[in-house]
Amino acid sequence: ASSNGSLSPPVPTDRIREGVPALYQGSLAAASATFVGHYPWFATYNLLSEKIPKQDTTLGELGRRAVLGFCSSAVSDTCSNSVRVVKVYKQSHPENLSYPQVVRTVIKESGVTGLMFRGLETKILANGMQGILFSILWKQFEDVLFGKKK
């Protein structure tokens, strides 16, 4: 149990007392979520890049890139959200639960909807803004460093 109250997540010193392996609880899920999220991001970005025509004006092209980045992030977050829910639950739970135990517990508490969509709105908003900035800046730097592609 946590030393700072039963409803709050354990503080790092509690985890350290449990030994070094306790510091890595949820690391497999973290790596999996990253893997699961990367392919959909680039697949969405590449598909939309082909389907949404390049714009003639700078403002229009910046808007296009913003849409590409936001949509790519939203698809990626939706695909990887359930894995991230499992990761956060495993990392913050006071007991060392197995991944199947975590999934069963989350489904019991929140249903499949909770497993799939818990925190997704916030994640899409935050990561969507990051995706917008990334896709705009990435292409801007690419244009500056390597010249504009026709």
pLDDT of 150 above 60: no
pTM recorded for the entire structure? 0.76
Give CA separation, 93 vs 11, 82, 85, in Å: 11, 16, 12
| Calpha distance 80→71 (Å, rounded) | 14
Give the least confident one: 7-16, 50-59, 90-99. 7-16
Give CA separation, 98 vs 43, 87, 93, in Å: 32, 11, 11
Q: 68: number of CA atoms within 13 Å, CB side?
A: 26
Tokens of 22: 């306790």
| Calpha distance 94→112 (Å, rounded) | 22
Q: What is the pLDDT of residue 2?
A: 43
For residue range 109-145, list pLDDT tens digits in order: 999 999 999 999 999 999 999 999 999 999 889 888 9
**What letter does residue 54 receive in the DSSP assignment?**
P
Domain boundaries, the chain: 12-142
For residue range 3-41, list pLDDT tens digits in order: 445 555 555 566 566 666 666 666 777 788 888 889 999
Q: What is the pLDDT of residue 6?
A: 55
Burial of 2 (0-12, 13-18, 19+ CB in 10 A): middle
Better-predicted residue by pLDDT, 120 or 90: 120
Backbone angles phi, psi at 7, to 5 degrees: -90, -10
Q: What is the pLDDT of residue 32?
A: 81
The answer to whether the beta carbons of residues 42 and 79 sit under 8 Å apart is no
Q: What is the pLDDT of residue 1?
A: 42
Closest CA to 81 of 138, 26, 124, 27: 124
CATH class of the structural domain 12-142: mainly alpha
- Average of per-residue pLDDT across 48-70: 96
